[in-house]
Chain A
Amino acid sequence: MAEPTLPLTAAAAGAYPGARRPDRRRTVDSAGVAIAVAEWGDPDAPVLLCAHGGFDFAETLNVFAPMLADAGWRVVSWDQRGHGDSAHTHLYSWEADQRDAAAVIASLPPAPMPFLGHSKGGSLVMHLANALPHRVAALVNLDGLPSGRAMTDVSEHERTRMLRREMSAWLDHRHTLVGKQRKPGTIEELAERRGRMNPRLDPAWLQYLVTVGATEAPDGWRWKIDPTLRMGGFGPWRPEWSMLRLPGIGVPVMGVLGLDLEYMGWGTRPEDVVPYLPPGARFEELEGVGHFVHIEQPRRVADLVLDFLDGALPAVARP
């Protein structure tokens, strides 16, 4: 099992406009799995918990999170198992991701806190809000509301409509994993590869991400993400099971949907979401924005989040 590493070099700090690496890093033990936690802002401020999407990592929040921290929040995120600086594990599953998140939450002060998540992270915090209602004060879901369409970034997760050839391909892939490593390359090459999944994002941002999300060896840079992780997969899960977690959430909810469809997005349309919103929920549709709403338009989305939390939480629970 790979040892988690927590490099905190300043080499890349400031290499992208507005980007700020975490103010603090620490690890949390989740049943033997080392989960890397990243924090921005005053350590004594109220906590705002942020979950990244699949195949992302906490430092993909390096522009967005500081905006929230600068508004007075202690922003806490973590690298999901196999992602970023968290340990590479034997197994990956939705339930394991939830358990790891619960371990991070257990390391935080007991006061209920806002949960925010993007994409897979949005769905993750929606489930956590149900499983840990005593820990959540408000819920923000950034383009992580599942519809009947694909959830591209949820690795080893499940698809309802699964063809036998996909199953065979998945099993064939399993046979290639022993000793597998990410392909090395230059910063430009890794950014270009990631750009195929994130075609709307600034190439300079993607290059910056390499410097914080990859490690450099003599033969080049490699993304830190576990090379055995693969998008897609198969299993019994169906999107409505996640959506059915939404109506019963008892804390203020805001859903944000980027309306421009793209490869890594889930293809969810407003009409998929609206029937499931709990009473009083706020729903924001962003025209001209893709799946990575908080990276494409960090200021706009941060302002939406801050405005929502100002209205949703009592003064004592916010900065």
Chain B
Amino acid sequence: MSTFTLRHNRVELAVHRLSDGADDVRRPLLLLHGLGERTPSQVPVRQLSGFVWPGPVLGLDFTGHGASTVPVGGGYTSEILVGDVDTVLRETGPVTILGRGLGAYVGLLAAAARPELVRGVVLTDGPGLVGGGTHPGSPLLPVPAPGGVVPPDPFALLELARDVRPPDYAQTYARYAVEGSDLDDPVWVSCVVRPEWVAAISGEPGVARGSVAEGLARYAAVD
């Protein structure tokens, strides 16, 4: 595994190259981890359901996670993490995304924002998939116990676990992803858990459902 860093505003993002793949000029697979996780140290064969991605496999550590900068004083949103992904896309060019949990949600948003650069996103189960529900809960202002700045940032866990995800909001993103892509089905839902936002996009035209291996095979087969 090798690692390089990219700058997103004041945050240094760690991007790990887990494999060159059989053909390193092929489009990379970009792994987006779940809430509180980090990029694994080697290609997560089980997460890929045994599918061997033909090109390089990369993994991004989101802000406040893994080897990326832990911000001071929190302030996380899923949308800012889309900026993390976009920073990677700017460096790598087109990728296919395999997102776990929080990474699945952020991957969907990134596919909507940059449909020409996200050549398929596979959404899988993982920490942070549900988020904070469909609307804000009772107000509270929690502050994590001081514990240093060892990742994952407690503020990330706290704030992104409460990140509100209205179904129609996710639906809008799914539609943007489909409208902006020349793929027939640029979004692939492999989650077993179906929070409201996942249920809402699952019926959308251009959103396919199936196993992780089927989804990756589908996207590996297109330019």
Binding site for B on A (CB under 8 A): 1, 30-33, 81, 87, 89-93, 95-96, 98-100, 102, 127, 130-132, 156, 158, 162, 164, 167-168, 171, 174-175, 177-178, 228, 233-238, 241, 245
Contact = CB atoms under 8 A, between A and B. Distances in A.
Contacts of A30: 73
Contacts of A236: 164-166, 169
B113 A33 contact: no
Rank and list the top 7 A-B pairs by shortest CB-CB distance, nearest first. Answer: A91-B75, A90-B71, A33-B73, A96-B75, A131-B139, A93-B75, A32-B72
Interface of B: 7-11, 63, 69, 71-80, 82-83, 86-87, 90, 112-114, 135-136, 139-141, 143-144, 146, 155, 159, 162, 164-166, 169, 172, 176, 179-180
Contacts of A33: 72-73
A167 B113 contact: yes
Contacts of A89: 10, 71-73, 75
A156 to B, nearest CB: 8
Nearest to B136: A241
Contacts of B74: 31, 91, 93, 95-96, 99
A31 B146 CA distance: 8
A174 B8 contact: yes
Contacts of A241: 135-136
Given A1-B72, A31-B73, A91-B80, A164 B112 contact: yes
Nearest to A176: B9
Contacts of B146: 31
Contacts, number: 114
A34 to B, nearest CB: 9
A75 B82 CA distance: 40
B141 to A, nearest CB: 5
13 contacts: A31-B146, A90-B9, A90-B10, A90-B71, A91-B74, A93-B159, A98-B141, A99-B143, A100-B73, A174-B87, A177-B10, A233-B79, A241-B136
Nearest to B172: A162
B141 A92 contact: no
B139 A130 contact: yes
Contacts of A87: 72
B155 A31 contact: yes
Contacts of B159: 93, 95
A273 to B, nearest CB: 20
In this complex, which of B11, B72, B75 has the most chain A Cβ atoms within 10 angstroms of its Cβ? B75
A211 to B, nearest CB: 28
Contacts of B9: 90, 174, 177-178, 228
B166 A171 contact: no
B52 to A, nearest CB: 32
Contact of A102 (B8, B69, B141): B141
B143 A31 contact: yes
B61 to A, nearest CB: 15
B201 to A, nearest CB: 14
A177 B82 CA distance: 15
Contacts of B10: 1, 89-90, 177, 228
A131 B113 contact: no
B139 A95 contact: no
Nearest to A92: B75
Nearest to A102: B141
B113 A168 contact: yes
B198 to A, nearest CB: 15
B76 to A, nearest CB: 6
Nearest to B69: A90
Contact of A164 (B8, B136, B180): B180
Contacts of A127: 139
Nearest to B78: A235
B69 to A, nearest CB: 7
A188 B74 CA distance: 36
B180 A81 contact: no
Contact of A235 (B11, B79, B87): B79
A219 B69 CA distance: 32
A93 B63 contact: no
A92 B113 CA distance: 20
A143 B148 CA distance: 40
A164 B172 CA distance: 10
A29 to B, nearest CB: 9
Contacts of A156: 77, 80
